[in-house]
Chain A
Amino acid sequence: EDKVVQSPLSLVVHEGDTVTLNCSYEVTNFRSLLWYKQEKKAPTFLFMLTSSGIEKKSGRLSSILDKKELFSILNITATQTGDSAIYLCAVPGSARQLTFGSGTQLTVLP
């Protein structure tokens, strides 16, 4: 059974801070690791990582995967109040079904 563990469970920072969110995983057959952002509604896709050590970037967000140590991190620099959300990490199974972690609730204060 695939397993995903995220830490911390919640995080409160001020605007301008940099945050690092952690995701560790155990999977039978690794295919990829995905990061999602969830505000009030459905999760929205951020990144998919398939190869170790390659950094994916989108503006102030970046993510890297370590396949040897079985973890990924999501970095957000110069945080803004609009970054407040739940950040979910997930790994897909053979039918693309996703096993999610519990998420990290990020709150960015003005």
Chain B
Amino acid sequence: NAGVTQTPKFRILKIGQSMTLQCAQDMNHNYMYWYRQDPGMGLKLIYYSVGAGITDKGEVPNGYNVSRSTTEDFPLRLELAAPSQTSVYFCASSPTRDRVGTEAFFGQGTRLTVV
């Protein structure tokens, strides 16, 4: 019963380094999302995908890239890490059930610090 799995759980990066945050779901959900959460704030949408091969920008996409080659995986790439990207990152997925919005299933998060 894995649900949404994110790796790594913690990471410290130096300014200018790059990394990929991994996200995988085993619920056959078409919709997947990346959010970031800064201290004392709600979650902000970075990128999302409605299916394999389709991605779209959210509210705060600058400095990030995504790809969706399979239904299961939705990695988030940081190319040139900056201190402003210090945050907790959550991956989530939703089923394509009906016309009414439905709950998202969240991964446990990746805490990223850029120094």
Chain A residues with a Cβ under 8 A of chain B: 4, 6, 31-32, 34, 41-45, 48, 50, 88, 90-92, 95-103, 105
Contact = CB atoms under 8 A, between A and B. Distances in A.
B104 to A, nearest CB: 6
Interface of B: 31, 33, 35, 40-45, 48, 50, 56, 58-59, 90, 92, 94, 99-104, 106-109
B101 A41 contact: no
A102 B63 CA distance: 22
A96 B45 contact: no
B101 A92 contact: yes
A95 B50 contact: yes
A31 B106 contact: no
Given A42-B108, A42-B109, A98 B33 contact: yes
A34 B101 contact: yes
A103 B107 CA distance: 19
Contacts, number: 68
B101 A96 contact: yes
B56 to A, nearest CB: 7
Contact of B43 (A45, A92, A100): A100
Contacts of A105: 40
Contact of B100 (A41, A50, A100): A50
A41 B109 contact: yes
12 contacts: A34-B101, A41-B108, A42-B107, A42-B108, A88-B42, A90-B42, A95-B50, A96-B94, A97-B31, A98-B45, A99-B59, A100-B42
Contacts of A91: 101
Nearest to B93: A96
B104 A98 contact: yes
